[in-house]
Structure 1
Amino acid sequence: MPLVTTTEMFKKAYEGGYAIGAFNVNNMEIIQGIVEAAQQEKAPVILQVSAGARKYAKHVYLTKLVEAAIIDAPEVPIALHLDHGADFEICKACIDGGFSSVMIDGSHHSFEDNIAVTKKVVDYAHERGVTVEGELGRLAGVEDDVKVAADDALYTDPAEVEEFVSRTGVDSLAIAIGTSHGAFKFKGEPHLRFDILEEVSKRLPGFPIVLHGASSVIPEYVEMINQYGGKIDGAQGVPEALLRKAATMAVCKINIDSDIRLGVTAALRKYMVEHPDHFDPRQYLTPARDAVRESVRHKIVEVLGCNNKI
């Protein structure tokens, strides 16, 4: 099947009380691992590309790799999504370049300016059959070129969501309820503002909500990285139980990036230490790809609940 938009994915997810995983992709092995997991667990999937990924791998390489994934796994509904589009021009380039979904992140603007840039993207995208995700509120943390200090993070104001959605026409909305980008999400006890999520869902019944910065920073990977020469002490993510609860509410899309990075790095470090005489990239990239597949399978079944949904 060709690329799909998120419209039908989110409708089924909302009604079924589960979420779709949106996994960031940067190279062939990561795409293969994610899609193999989706095949094995019979799950729809969103492959998302950040500005940093486009800079690293180039737009055309990533889109052609996703085309290969569609040919290799025709039974899996796959959406190709731009993560954190900074402005209209980036969103337009991805819409014109074959993406089926884009995010315009106007959260760093004023409310009115956020509405203006988001509506401009929506108008352009909808004319071409592409869905759009907007954002209200601002997450802390670092992801590629997106860097927000903790003091500058803002929870989403539920009183603004109805006006924002009605004036922009977005298809989904990313909100800030306490998640953050990167591998160091919490210093104390992790918690999410489910009261905000509940209020938003009351004001926007049936409307798909998105959580960014939702990696769990899997402890086994952190331990493995540190065991084999790395140094990422203090890494802490969002507990999976909290994410599963969100997925049973109005959250239809959960973004996961850091967990994939950690899995790849853990597998590579372990392999390099255990096989110091090996130098063939295929040898050490194979366990890295396997780590992606198994971590995504785990997320699909235990966190997202979207297995056996195709």
Structure 2
Amino acid sequence: MSLVSTKGMLLDARQKGYAVGAFNANNLEMAQGIVMAAEKEKAPVIVQVSQGGAEHGGLEEMAAIIKSLAAKASVPVALHLDHGVDVVYNMRCLRVGFTSLMYDGSKLAFAENVRITREVALAAHAVGVPVEAELGKVPKDPTGITLDDLKKYMTSPEEAKAFVEQTNVDALAIAVGNMHKMKIKEAKIDVERIAAIRQVVAVPLVLHGASGVPDEAVTAAVKAGICKINVHTQLG
């Protein structure tokens, strides 16, 4: 198979009530392991390269590796940019053949996040590539984060609805108690919030930081509306 877009994958997941695994690869061996595991499970898979992670394997090099693996794979494989934090980097990924982008403007004010995300989506959609965005704040490190902090960072259904309508993104990463870089599965996920966002947002929802989410909470999150599960920390 050749690389596929995440759009069809995630829309199917949303319609049928399951989630697609999205795993970060920083080198050849990680990418090989991800695709081999997907083939063993006979499941579609999203191989992600983050803007920071590309510093290890190189952006062009990782794109070439994953394209080669996808061409030989027996399951659908998508190549996705994880946490692209500027427009220029998203455009670089578009040029080297990524089949899915992410602009992460979650640190910005709502209006600025909308403005830049919409720019990325317009450019990507012109060549048929979907875009994921993030609203709310998923902490990059759990150190010192309190429950009150997490509540303050969470995505509101009202803002999620407005954001998707104004940006025309294809998937939305939300903050619902999840955190990055958690090595122990102890995140407290607000499943009711996921369900509330799912009711008002017409695009697939994404759960970042799933390495720190208990298995039963992942299952509940998928039932509530999550369609893409991001895993990196567990991979080492």
TM-score computed with the length of structure 2 as normaliser: 0.93
Cα offset for 1:149? 6.5
Q: Is the 8 A contact 1:19 1:248 kept in 2?
A: no
Q: Is the 8 A contact 1:115 1:168 kept in 2?
A: yes
| Structure 2 partner of 1:193 | 190
Q: Is the 8 A contact 1:141 1:149 kept in 2?
A: no
1:208 is aligned to 2:183: no
| Structure 1 partner of 2:30 | 30
What CA distance in whole angstroms lies between the structure 2 residues aligned with 1:201 and 1:183? Answer: 25
Larger Rg: 1 or 2?
A: 1
| Structure 2 partner of 1:6 | 6
Counterparts of 1:78-93 in structure 2, within 5 Å, are 78-93=77-92
What CA distance in whole angstroms lies between the structure 2 residues aligned with 1:258 and 1:185? Answer: 10
Counterpart residue type for residue 257 of structure 1: H
Q: Is the 8 A contact 1:140 1:148 kept in 2?
A: no
Counterpart residue type for residue 211 of structure 1: L
Secondary structure class of the residue paired with 1:140? coil
1:161 is aligned to 2:160: yes
Q: Is the 8 A contact 2:82 2:101 kept in 1?
A: yes
CA offsets, 1:256-285, max 9 Å, x none?
001111xxxxxxxxxxxxxxxxxxxxxxxx
1:177 is aligned to 2:173: no
Cα offset for 1:148? 9.1
Structure 1 gap ranges (5+):
216-236, 262-310
Structure 2 gap ranges (5+):
none
Secondary structure class of the residue paired with 2:106? coil
Between the two proteins, the alignment pairs up a number of residues equal to 232
Q: Is the 8 A contact 2:140 2:180 kept in 1?
A: yes
Q: Is the 8 A contact 2:183 2:233 kept in 1?
A: no
Identity among equivalent pairs (%):
41
The structure whose RCO (Cα within 8 Å, separation 6+) is larger is 1
| Structure 2 partner of 1:39 | 39
CA offsets, 1:152-192, max 9 Å, x none?
65000111111111110000000000010003567xx6421
Counterpart residue type for residue 217 of structure 2: L
What CA distance in whole angstroms lies between the structure 2 residues aligned with 1:71 and 1:121? Answer: 27
TM-score computed with the length of structure 1 as normaliser: 0.71
What CA distance in whole angstroms lies between the structure 2 residues aligned with 1:158 and 1:238? Answer: 21
| Structure 1 partner of 2:19 | 19
Q: Is the 8 A contact 1:141 1:150 kept in 2?
A: no
Counterpart residue type for residue 38 of structure 1: A
1:66 is aligned to 2:66: yes
Cα offset for 1:80? 0.4
Counterpart residue type for residue 231 of structure 2: I
Distance 1:40 1:54, change over 3 A: same
| Structure 2 partner of 1:104 | 103
Q: Is the 8 A contact 1:212 1:255 kept in 2?
A: yes
Secondary structure class of the residue paired with 1:48? strand
Secondary structure class of the residue paired with 1:164? helix
Q: Is the 8 A contact 2:3 2:71 kept in 1?
A: no
What CA distance in whole angstroms lies between the structure 1 residues aligned with 2:8 and 2:122? Answer: 20
| Structure 2 partner of 1:248 | 223
What CA distance in whole angstroms lies between the structure 1 residues aligned with 2:156 and 2:194? Answer: 10
What CA distance in whole angstroms lies between the structure 2 residues aligned with 1:184 and 1:71? Answer: 33
Moved more, 111-120 or 194-203: 194-203
Question: Post-superposition, which runs of at least 4 consecutive aligned residues in structure 1 deviate over 4 A?
Answer: none
What CA distance in whole angstroms lies between the structure 2 residues aligned with 1:13 and 1:249? Answer: 12
Distance 1:31 1:7, change over 3 A: same
Cα offset for 1:72? 2.3
What CA distance in whole angstroms lies between the structure 2 residues aligned with 1:35 and 1:185? Answer: 25
CA offsets, 1:64-106, max 9 Å, x none?
1112202321x21111000001011111111111101011001
| Structure 2 partner of 1:219 | none
| Structure 2 partner of 1:305 | none
Q: Is the 8 A contact 2:132 2:173 kept in 1?
A: yes
